[in-house]
Amino acid sequence: MIIDTHIHLDDERYVEDFDEMLLRARDNGVQAFIIPGAHPGTLSRAVEICERYEDIYFAVGVHPYDIGRIASVDFEYYVSHSKCVAIGECGLDYFRLEGSDEEKMDEKKRQDEVFRYQIRLAKLYKKPLIVHIRDASHDAKMVLLEEGAEEVGGVLHCYNADDELLSLSDKNFYFGIGGVITFQNAKKLINIISRIPHNKLLIETDGPYLTPHPHRGTRNEPAYTRLVVDKIAGLLELKIEDVELITTKNAKSLFGIG
């Protein structure tokens, strides 16, 4: 069985065929789903979905692109919900930095402050973190270490294959692997995956984004985790069933589900 540890089921692109999409996922062995908190405007829908389906869970958090809306999120309200399993996705993302050097530095500072705030909330509420890192590996790692994030641990969502982050496996952090592993140009991730401890591997889609080969260009969905599992099994020379067992056990251990 498979647990999709990062799937934006609250995205409007799933509305039209939601139940059919879930059925396809379950037919492909997906037994549970985690909706990350990213945009404050969709949190209520995430909760509504989790209350309707026993096998769906959610996290509360604010993506680096939406930090301006952090004050609108009632973390205490959401984290007290029985289906809330994590804080995030939160982190640092320097990919879209624009403007002058001073403006870029200001944006980095704002992201840093909001990231640290959410780490402290995770420690306060004793929830693991779902961490988003893009073009900011060193800074993100330093923040996690400085804030003592290993106390709650978490997952480096859509692990970017940066060598510097590998040492976080010793700090109670897991590595989320999704459709990128099937891309022809994912040589860095393909080469590094054997260095990730098996007990720190997680499966994710990040749907509706990052659709795996051979479905690139279409909406991603949880059923496609099957392609990710198959690819990992081939790269690590493991049985498909073993990859399922390992990653499911890891997800249950980190998020306290099942």
Tell the burial category of 150 from Cβ atoms under 10 Å away from its Cβ (0-12, 13-18, 19+).
middle
Helix (H) or strand (E) segment spanning residue 147: none
Q: Give the Å distances, CA to CA, from 36 to 50, 54, 178, 199.
A: 12, 16, 15, 22
Q: In this predicted structure, what is the pLDDT of residue 258?
A: 77
Please state the three-class secondary structure of 229-244 as a single string.
HHHHHHHHCCCHHHHH
Per-residue pLDDT of the chain (258 residues; tens, 9 = 90+): 999 999 999 999 999 999 999 999 999 999 999 999 988 999 999 999 999 999 999 999 999 999 999 999 999 999 999 999 999 999 999 999 999 999 999 999 999 999 999 999 999 999 999 999 999 999 999 999 999 999 999 999 999 999 999 999 999 999 999 999 999 999 999 999 999 999 999 999 999 999 999 999 999 999 999 999 999 999 999 999 999 999 999 999 999 997
Residue 204: give its domain's CATH number.
3.20.20.140
Q: In this predicted structure, what is the pLDDT of residue 105?
A: 96
Q: In this predicted structure, what is the pLDDT of residue 38?
A: 83
Domain residues for the domain of 47 are 2-255
Structural domain tally of the chain? Answer: 1
CB 197 within 8 A of CB 250: no
Q: Coil, strand, or helix at residue 255?
A: helix
Cβ atoms within 10 A of the Cβ of 253, count?
Answer: 14
Picking from 10, 89, 90, 21, the residue whose alpha carbon sits closest to that of residue 47 is: 10
Structure tokens that stand for 218 in this block:
């279409």
CB 34 within 8 A of CB 203: no
At what angle are helices 101-125 and 137-146 packed, to 10 degrees? 40
